[in-house]
Each structure stands twice: as structure tokens, then as C-alpha cells.
Structure 1
């Protein structure tokens, strides 16, 4: 039995509530074996008093089952999380805020097909418009972490573009006052990304640490659907100021979005609010048709103890703007769809306590 075999064995121990193990989470700080005694040091950050007890029991059970182990010593360091964490504070596994970045916000959905990337693109452009009006141009970033299906380049009119390299860092592309980085810039349209978790984690780390973001008031991080490697890698790499959940009104979407919200709460990332997309369709007679039901966004916001930031109706112009690379907030800034996104953007800036023009 060696330190390496102990760590290999500990890959069987999952972090409570997740399918990922404590070794890949980076929580095992050291391991040693001498005279039949296995000794491990583990460090976690949690506000749940049940987690340390559960982890310690699972670690001991795992190690005692290994051949040659007669005794087990577990040093479990627990840091109590503040609620919510202050900007720059590490969450589950650590990470540091890049210099010049004031606030980072994850845009998540849980379920695919709810328009999360379209929402993220228009929110980023709306934030850029508000901050430019406030005398802070070029202070918004959009990091597309949807590794398998990046759509941000198309929606931002940057398809086929490539970032420049400055020394060991990538220079994000900029359009509509938003600095953008995406996996879509690094592979061609005909190359599928077939990666396992460690490669995804490495890419997200590089997007955070090896991209020349410069001075940013807000960095939006467009996450893929689900609660898998990309989400967990992000909270380990970048201390988030919070997350916005995007959902459509029907239970098929809100039930999954709620699980996504619970994931962020488990890793001590505060929920900044829920955005309800495709809330209704307005027909030619001006009547609202609730095609996907109604009330779902407000319901999960209440269940998760957060707020409903806004409702985005089903507008054809929003879809058309994404397909043409001209987000509706840019192509039709005076229209109702753009106004909805600016209202949500202003609400987000207020929650982040970022001064801005009304």
C-alpha cells in the first residue's frame, strides 16, 4: 500500500450529493501509509454539518477494506462557508479570481433546450449597453463553457473567427462591447469534441487563467446543461459571485432547473435569481398564449429562496437574432424584447451592487 494506491482507492468515495469523487474534486491534500496505518488529509468547504461526518465515515469504510490496512487516521479540515461567499472567496475546491475581474456569474439551466445560450448572449449585450451608458465600455465578458455544443460564436456573429495569442495567453474576441471566448473558436464546425472530464476541466481552467480578459465588471459564464464535469470544474476554478438559473415555465424544465439550483447551493454558490424564458407567446390579436404553461419560474425561485429576475416572452425576433449573429438587444435596441433583457441586466447589476445608469 502506497500513497498513490490510497488515493486510487479513495476515488470510490463520492462527495455527498454528487457523482464525482473526492480525489478528482481535489479535496485529498495528502496520503501516507506506514506500519499498517493509512493516513489521509482532506480539506473541504461546507456549511452543511452532515457532510464532514458522512465523508469521514465513507473514507474510513473505503480504506479499511483495502488489503494490509489495520488502522486509519483521517484529518478532515472543514472551512465554514459564509452565506453568500464574498467576491473572490473560494468555493468547493478553491480557485482564484483573475486580476481585473470584479464579478463572475454562471448562467445555468439544468435542462437543455430552454434557450440558455440565447439568454446569456442577449444578457451580455444588455449589460454592455448599460455599462457603456454608465461610462464603462468594454467591461463585460462572456465565457462559453458549453464544450460539446458551443453556439455563442454563431449568436455573436463571430463564427469562423480565431483568437490571437499574446505570449502564453489567448486574447478574447470582442463584439457589441462584449469580450468573448469559446471552444467554438478553437475547433472547426466539422470537428466534434469527444472528451472526458479531465480534458473539460483543463479547458475551463485555461479559459479562466490563460485568457487576457483585462478589466471586467461582469463575466458571464454560459454553462452546458446538467450538473456534470463542466459545472463542477468551474466552481473549483473560478470563485463565482452567483448563478442565474434559466428555465421555461413547464415542470419538465423547472424540476431539472431546481436540481441545478440545489447543486450550486451545495457548493456554496449563491443563487442570484431565476430567469423564465419563453414565458408566453403573443398572437396577432394581442392575446397571450402560455404555450409552455405558466408560473414555473416564480415557483422554483420561491422554492430555492431566490428571486424571479424577469420573464422573457417567446419572440421570433430573439430566435432570428441568434441565427443571424445580431442579438435582438443589438439589432432592435428600442424593441420590447431588448427592453426585457435590459430590465433583467439592470436587476442583476443591482444584486451585484455594480453602479450603473438607470
Structure 2
């Protein structure tokens, strides 16, 4: 199509042409163009002067591809024959909690997203991941806070060294003012003076809840909560106190670590907290000979992805500088943003931002068993395909657990003939945002990732209907 010159373009036609060009830009997470996503705001055109102005209002100020959006917007609109100047303002949607009625009270009411960083055992580098993730999100343009939820062994005062190292309560508002370092708000039991009134409470869970909800966090895009290790009462209390937008689980490459990771994933699933990513720490190191070594083995993280459908696995290296930065009070992503670990943290930060944005907009995937049809009814809105049916026996025969697949060799040990054609589930429960747990009538519990279900042969709808009449 040949574009009109300046004198021939009306304002209305100019706006249509600009929107048509902007609609060429696709958001890779939502699968829609930025016009359909509602990102284009305050569009104004002056064809006579050749000027175009508009804002791109993204879901978060930390959008990892905001620079790409801006560059393409200027390029595409600037190619119109009558356009001489393109002014683009990059902004973000107004901050609001993930769910307006999630019960957030006190200092949390203006926090948009709360991210859990968890591990089921200590010594895996969870706090290192939590702190560096928080500062990565801040570097991406977000307003960020960190809450150190470990009362018995708080690590934040060691890993970050703010000038003000004591928490102070405002006597009028009865809120606690977090301390701050490099633009990130910090809260930890380790910053509380011994005997301070704000620390009174008979139980650790009560102390954590008071610190978290009584803090004057202000407006934050992301609050990163560094969980204490384990899956006990403290962790459950945290999940019950506030609504978490997503969780990141930290582990190590050993296959034995898989059991602990599975516990964490199931705990968050029970509390309706989707797991956005797994961070595999101490994954490798690069030798002086240029070879990459994996001293603790490989494959555990891949199994987590396969068994639970968690889409993202980020590998972090063994690096003395990473530990030294944590001990020195200055996170590595701040002291050396061009380092290899900093690149991995940038990858993790982008994953968290994009997954949380998708969770905020997308409809949830769903699987249910229809007893009349004798079939699983699967709805995967993100895939763009219509609702489809799966035969229970097909699902059962594609189980990927250790009872069906040799966890060391990957060979299938389940004999398909041992699965009856009329097998039926006892219950189906969601397991986070990426899988369901199917409890079969013979006692087997199968974790079925949506990605696995999407690849199974569909049951003919007419057969399902016919089965309902038997």
C-alpha cells in the first residue's frame, strides 16, 4: 500500500495508519499485538507537522523487552511517508495487587507482586539467589523490596550492608520502616535491635507475620521473600498470610535433591502458588582448559521440568566471586553486572517478570474428568486450541514417574498392557500452573504436566459421547 503524503492525511486516517504499524509488534508472552493488548495510550498525530506522539503502557516497568518494543515502534511508525518525528513514552500500568480482594493489609496494600524464593534444605544458595534476583529486578526498572523470613539464621544483614542497620517503628502509624540499600527496601529480623518492642511475640511465625505485614513497604512492583529452608509451619504461615504471585525454587544438580524440590513444588501447589522457575545453583564451573565441568552431575533439573511441567530452569555457576560478594555486603549483580552469574540472574529476572505478567492476564489451564464421557476434558487457553478429550488409559500409560520410567536410564518400565482400558481416576487436582495431580483408583498418584497432555493423542469427541450412552 502506498502511503499518502502529509497534505492528504487527516488526523483520523493518520491514527489508523499508526495503529496499523504498531499492530505489527507482537508481545511474545501474550501472543497478541501491542494494540490488541491495550498497550498503546494517548495517541496524538499532527499530519501537517509530521508528528506522532503516544505512550506504550506495559504490564511492568521491568519488562525485559521494553527497549525492543520502543525501537520497533519508532522504526515502524517512522516509515510512514508523512511522519517526520516520533515521540514514544515508555510507562507501565498503574500498580495494583494481583488480586484486589486478596486480603493484603497494612504495609502490603500497595505491593503489586510478591515473589517467594524457597528451598527445602539449607546450604543451596537460596539467599544468594533471592538477594541477587531482587537487585536484578531493580536494575530492570522496578521498585523492589526484600523480606528475609529466616528468624533463626537471617542472612540479609551479611549479604547487604545498608548505612542504617536498625529497624525503627513509627509510633504514630505503628508501622516499621524498612532500611534501604541501592534503592531496594530491606527487612530482616537481623536488623531488629535485641529487646526491641517490635519483636515481641511468643512464636516465630507471629514475628514473621508482624514484620512482613507491619512494614511500611510503600509502592513496590515486586517484594521478594527469602523463605527459610523447609516446608513446615513457618512456610505455610507465610503462604496463608499473603497471596504470592509466583515462586522460584532453588536447588542443586544432585539427583537426591529432586525429592526435596518435589516437596516444595507440592507445598506451593497446595497453597495455589504457581512456580515460575527452578534455579539450579552450583551447576557447573569453567576450567582453565576451557572445559565446562559439572561436579555434581546433570539431569535433575531436566527431570523437574519433565515431571512437573515447570517451563524454566536457570543454571548458576560455582564461582568464588559470587560467594565473596555475598560475604562482602554488596550483591554481585550490583558490583559486577557484566559477570557470568549476573547474566544468569538477568535471565531469571526476565523469566519472573514475564511469567507473573502472563499469570495476571491469562486464563488458567484446567483438566477435569467427566464420568459420563469417561474422558479427561482438557482446556489449555494459552495454546489457542479448543477444548479436547483424552482417554484415561492413554494418560495413565504416559506417566513419567519413577514407577513408570527408570529414573537413572530413562527407559520405560511400565507395561502398557498392565493398564486396563477402563482405568479411571479417583480425583484430579491442580498442581501449580503447569500440571495436575491425578489420583488413580488403584492408589497411584500421577503428576501430569500440561505440556505432556497437549502432546497426547486426542480421544475422538464422538467416541466420548458414545461412551456416555453405554
TM-score, scaled to structure 2: 0.51
Name the residue aligned to 1:266.
270
Give the counterpart of 2:118 among 98, 108, 114. 108
Name the residue aligned to 1:99.
109
Name the residue aligned to 2:83.
none
Name the residue aligned to 1:331.
335
How far, CA to CA, are the matches of 1:88 and 1:291 in structure 2? 46
1:187 Cα deviation (Å)? 4.7
1:310 Cα deviation (Å)? 1.2
How far, CA to CA, are the matches of 2:126 and 2:305 in structure 1? 17
| 1:106-185 aligned within 5 A | 106-131=116-141, 136=142, 139-158=143-162, 161-167=165-171, 168-185=174-191
1:86 Cα deviation (Å)? 5.5
Name the residue aligned to 2:57.
none
1:159 Cα deviation (Å)? 8.9
How far, CA to CA, are the matches of 1:311 and 1:173 in structure 2? 31
Secondary structure at 1:143's aligned position in 2? strand
How far, CA to CA, are the matches of 1:291 and 1:100 in structure 2? 44
Secondary structure at 1:103's aligned position in 2? strand
Secondary structure at 1:106's aligned position in 2? strand
Name the residue aligned to 1:7.
none
How far, CA to CA, are the matches of 1:127 and 1:95 in structure 2? 22
8 Å contact kept, 1:171–1:212: yes
Name the residue aligned to 1:212.
216
| Largest Rg, 1 or 2 | 2
1:297 Cα deviation (Å)? 1.8
How far, CA to CA, are the matches of 1:297 and 1:207 in structure 2? 34
Which consecutive unaligned segments of at least 5 residues does structure 2 have?
A: 1-96, 195-199, 359-470
8 Å contact kept, 1:274–1:309: yes
Name the residue aligned to 2:75.
none
Secondary structure at 2:111's aligned position in 1? coil
Secondary structure at 1:244's aligned position in 2? strand
Name the residue aligned to 1:65.
none
How far, CA to CA, are the matches of 2:339 and 2:270 in structure 1? 39
8 Å contact kept, 2:305–2:313: no
Name the residue aligned to 2:249.
245
RMSD of aligned C-alpha atoms? 2.4
How far, CA to CA, are the matches of 1:96 and 1:171 in structure 2? 16
1:233 Cα deviation (Å)? 0.8
How far, CA to CA, are the matches of 1:238 and 1:226 in structure 2? 18
Name the residue aligned to 1:222.
226
How far, CA to CA, are the matches of 2:255 and 2:163 in structure 1? 34
Secondary structure at 1:353's aligned position in 2? helix
Higher relative contact order (CA 8 A, sep 6+): 1
8 Å contact kept, 1:247–1:257: yes
Name the residue aligned to 1:202.
206
Secondary structure at 2:220's aligned position in 1? coil
1:302 Cα deviation (Å)? 2.6
Q: Quick check: 313-322 or 298-307, which moved more?
A: 298-307
Cα offsets for 1:17-53 (capped at 9, x unmatched):
xxxxxxxxxxxxxxxxxxxxxxxxxxxxxxxxxxxxx
How far, CA to CA, are the matches of 1:208 and 1:124 in structure 2? 16
8 Å contact kept, 1:96–1:237: no
1:96 Cα deviation (Å)? 4.9
Residue 243 to residue 109, structure 1, CA distance change in 2 (3 Å): same
Number of residue pairs aligned between Structure 1 and Structure 2 = 255
How far, CA to CA, are the matches of 1:294 and 1:123 in structure 2? 23
How far, CA to CA, are the matches of 2:168 and 2:212 in structure 1? 16
How far, CA to CA, are the matches of 2:100 and 2:273 in structure 1? 12
Say if 2:352 is the partner of 1:348: yes
How far, CA to CA, are the matches of 2:156 and 2:258 in structure 1? 23
Secondary structure at 2:256's aligned position in 1? helix
